[in-house]
Amino acid sequence: MPQKISPYAALDGLYELHETVGSGGFAKVKVATHVLTGDKVAIKIMDKKQLGEDLPRIHLEIEAMKHLSHQHICKLYQVIETDAKIFMVLEYCPGGELFDYIDRLEEEEARIFFREIVSAVAYIHEMGYAHRDLKPENLLLDDEQKLKLIDFGLCANPSGGMDQRLATCCGSPAYAAPELVSGRQYLGSEADIWSMGVLLYALLCGFLPFDDENLSTLYRKIQSGKYEKPEWLSEGSRNLLASMLQVEPKRRITVRYLLSHPWLIGDHPHPIDPTSIYKKVGVDEDVITEIAVHQGKSRVAVRQSVCEWSYDYLTATYFLLVMRKLKGRPVRLLPKVTTLGDIKSNRIPARSLMDQLNKENMEESIQGSIATSPRPLHMSLEGGLNDTDLLAIGKLEDEADCITPSSEITPLTSPKKRKPVEDDKENFVLPKVPTPIQRAKKRVTPNVPFKLSPSRSMDSGLDGYNTPSKMNI
């Protein structure tokens, strides 16, 4: 009988797979150990056939994450693509989603988190990107309780710069800016500021400023810009929220002024610094030396290979060692298991992994028979604007959401521009933060979704991991 090949054979010898921490229709996220460093990573595993028309969005996310390198953005280490699968090896964030941490934070704690959010968003705006899907579910916590922004599948990198207007409706309705739900063209940076205002409100209040089970009513509330102002909010936080939740985009505070806003500075001696700690000229020579000695190669050869930034196993090893050094840990590789030069390609031939396959089959069987299944990936919903006569939203044919090369990382080959998706659908998804309506109904748990109209269809959902298991999929 022909021997079965594991769907994860491409990871053999590179990573040791552990438990599944997120799962969805066509994707799952597993914790894994990087063999040469012994460090934990998260591997997002996607089935290309099931991705279908969402495949371009995955490539968009990958290219964006290759260009964006910041201490408050989840780091991409490696991409492996086979005929059937795409594996994204990512920084492991054991703290889970910021959403799981929300229950009306004290202002000082909310300030700490929001400073990190502002730092990350200011950085991506400076790099020419708009995120367009800012929400607590897309913010993870690492082992030091530092925030990491994830999910760049809906980001925009307009060829005309951040002053170029966009028209694609995407994100979550509860976090969407008025100009977006009204069907007008918008600036990605201004839409992000509004979403950040909703996010800060959720941190400070424990519920959303705009909500309704009826989408048409929800959109009208967003367009009015009127929201509850709880008595526990300080004057400084009220002023900051008011400056972000401005219905008129041009009256909204810019990220530049957010960096030095009095409430955000608080007791800190300096404004928020959006500079990336990874922004350096050249490569880390200590890391290059360790890899060269471990692999028995010259430093020149290793340096040249690293500077290709191929996002292969060598790139992953380099990044993990750099992360170790930044955290004050030894820059050391484990006893030699394999040669980095022998596994440089991202398209590794499939090899037998019968033990892993058996383990996976058993795992899938168990998951189907017990109630305590892994936490599913967040599900996104499409077509959310089709069931309201308030909106008449179209897509500009010349909207440039494609990725352009960045000067921050000295790569690589210039990434190819993303071809416009034929039908770049709305990607509105349900919020998981409690809302005033839900609180009135016996403080409903955050992960109970809004009621949908029959016309709304489910997307496969790829944003992040560690999503609450009560989420319907």
User: Which residues are the active-site residues?
Assistant: 133
What span, in angstroms and rounded, lies between the C-alpha atoms of 29 and 321?
23
Q: Are 42 and 21 in contact (CB under 8 A)?
A: yes
Is position 44 annotated in a ligand binding site?
yes
Write the DSSP string, 372-392.
-PPPBPBPPEE-TTTT-TT--
Q: Are 247 and 225 in contact (CB under 8 A)?
A: yes
Please, what is the Cα angle at 88 between 74 and 99, to 5 degrees?
40
What span, in angstroms and rounded, lies between the C-alpha atoms of 295 and 193?
47
- Alpha-carbon dihedral sign for residues 261, 265, 271, 272: negative
CB-based contacts of 216, cutoff 8 Å, min separation 6:
387, 388, 389, 390
CA torsion 267→268→270→271, rounded to 10°?
-90
Helices in 346-464 by DSSP H: which ranges?
A: 354-369, 436-440
What span, in angstroms and rounded, lies between the C-alpha atoms of 147 and 72?
6
**Among 34, 46, 86, 91, CA closest to 68:** 91
Q: Are 35 and 15 in contact (CB under 8 A)?
A: yes
Cα separation of the two ends of the chain: 36
CB-based contacts of 109, cutoff 8 Å, min separation 6:
none
Number of CB atoms found within 10 A of residue 91's CB: 20
The binding site for ATP consists of: 44
The binding site consists of: 44
